[in-house]
Structures are given as C-alpha cells and as structure tokens.
C-alpha cells in the first residue's frame, strides 16, 4: 500500500503542474498560449525585466532587424529602470503587466495579488501614459482567483511556450536557440527571460539565443508580430492619459 501511495506522488505532482503552471492548461478559463494562424508568424515575448544591460541589448538587436516584441515587465524592475521601459515603447514594443514583485507567496493572498496587479498597472501608466491590456502571471501560474483578479482589471491573460525549459539557468545560447526553433510553428508565442524573477542577473546566453533564433526563423520565412497582434486583442486599455 505504501509503495502504491509513493508511486502516486509523482503523478499527482505532474497533474498539479499541468493544471496550475503548464503553458497549455485552460482548466480555469481561457489563457491563450498561441495564435490561431496558419501563416508563418510568431511573437517573441520577454519576461521578468527590465534588467540592464540585457534588455537593451535585446532591444538593440531587434531594432536592427525591424522586429517588434512584447515585454511582460515586473513593476519593481520598471521602477529600477524606468528609462528602459520608455525606450522600448518608443521603439514600438508592447509592454505587459507581470506583477509587482514576482513573488510566489503573493498568489496565496487574494488582497496581495490584487494589489500587485493594480500597482504595476499604475507604475506603467505613470511611465507610459496608458495602462497595459495584457497580463502574464509569473511562472504562468493560473487558478480561478488569479484569473478573476486579472479580468476585474480589464486585462487579457497571455500564456506562451518557454523557449527552453532550462533557459532561466542560462545554458549555452545555441542550445536554447535549437529548442526554441524546434518548438516554433505558425502562431507560436515564444517566452524568453530578459530578467530573473524580478531581480538582476546575467542573461547573456538569452541575448545570444534570441539572435540565433531570430536569424533562423527569418531564414525560414517567419514574420514577427507582438502578442496583441497575434491574438487579435488590444495592447493597451482605453484610458485617460496620465497627468
């Protein structure tokens, strides 16, 4: 009996992961991870920034290829590098909400979660003059309380596919790129990390992976769009401009 119970633990863990953190789970409501497209179009997305100098290195490379991307940003990182967020927007990139602290325990307290979302909305409104309409939860966590909070703030939840399961640990950039390229299909939303859980950290291999991935996808005839364009939803809320 004990052996049966022990054997069931990994299965239960995998089941819990699929429900609450899998890029593909729709168990608690619509959380799109790709666009319904048949043409060769893909969205590059970046989480956990801004984080310098890596966010700007990525942005400079994308500018050289005339590519626009979507950056899901952590509120306290925007406070640390506000000029980076402003520059990204000026370059045509879309900014989304990625919580204020990127702290897992925030998910366990309904009031804290609502404040995290709202605080980042206001930080971005102050910097950009408008509030994002896109939200991606850290670790792609989703459950009914979170999705209700997101929708009460008139935000569209956005999932995606991780470029490489270990990218956050910075394996070789070419290895990250190989996996990202293999995953890409028409309508894909690829998730890279220009930051580390809302903290500073070296993302040099991610910068390298973005270059390799982008060059190969361009060679294959892919076109790059932002997440809102891919999903056919607004990038920003209709809102009065900041004073």
Q: What is the pLDDT of residues 119-130, one digit of tens each?
A: 999 999 999 999
pLDDT score of 40 more than 60: yes
Q: Can you list the domains of the chain with their CATH numbers?
A: 32-231 (3.20.20.370)
Q: For the beta carbon of residue 22, count every other beta carbon within 10 angstroms.
A: 17
pLDDT tens digits along 60-118: 999 999 999 999 999 999 999 999 999 999 999 999 999 999 987 777 777 888 899 99
The pTM assigned to this predicted structure is: 0.92
**Digit-coded pLDDT (tens) for 209-219:** 999 999 999 99
168-181 confidence digits (pLDDT tens): 999 999 999 999 99
More confident residue, 188 or 14: 188
Whether 241 and 129 have beta carbons less than 8 Å apart is answered as yes
Residue 243 above 60 pLDDT?
no
Residue 241 has pLDDT above 60, yes or no: no
Q: Output the six-digit token pair for 32.
A: 């799109």
Handedness of CA 112, 118, 119, 124 (dihedral sign): positive
How many other CB atoms sit within 10 Å of the CB of residue 148? 15
Q: Of 70, 5, 26, 79, which Cα lies nearest the Cα of 44?
A: 70
């Amino acid at each position: 009996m004990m052996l049966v119970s022990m054997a069931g633990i990994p299965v239960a863990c995998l089941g819990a992961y699929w429900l609450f953190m899998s890029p593909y789970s729709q168990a608690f409501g619509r959380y799109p991870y790709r666009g319904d497209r048949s043409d060769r179009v893909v969205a590059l997305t970046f989480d956990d920034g801004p984080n310098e100098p890596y966010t700007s290195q990525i942005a400079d490379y994308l500018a050289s290829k005339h590519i626009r991307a979507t950056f899901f940003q952590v509120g306290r990182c925007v406070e640390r590098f506000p000029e980076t967020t402003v520059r990204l927007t000026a370059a045509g990139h879309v900014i989304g909400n990625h919580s204020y602290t990127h702290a897992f325990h925030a998910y366990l307290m309904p009031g804290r979660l609502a404040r995290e979302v709202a605080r980042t909305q206001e930080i971005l409104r102050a910097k950009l003059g408008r509030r994002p309409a896109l939200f991606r939860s850290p670790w792609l966590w989703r459950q009914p309380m979170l999705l209700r909070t997101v929708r009460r703030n008139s935000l569209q939840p956005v999932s995606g596919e991780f470029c490489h399961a270990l990218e956050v640990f910075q394996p070789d950039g070419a290895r990250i790129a190989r996996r990202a390229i293999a995953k890409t299909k028409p309508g894909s939303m690829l998730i890279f990390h220009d930051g580390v859980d809302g903290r500073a950290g070296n993302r040099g291999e991610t910068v390298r992976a973005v270059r390799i991935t982008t060059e190969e996808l361009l060679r294959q005839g892919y076109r790059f769009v932002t997440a809102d364009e891919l999903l056919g939803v607004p990038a920003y809320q209709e809102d009065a401009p900041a004073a």
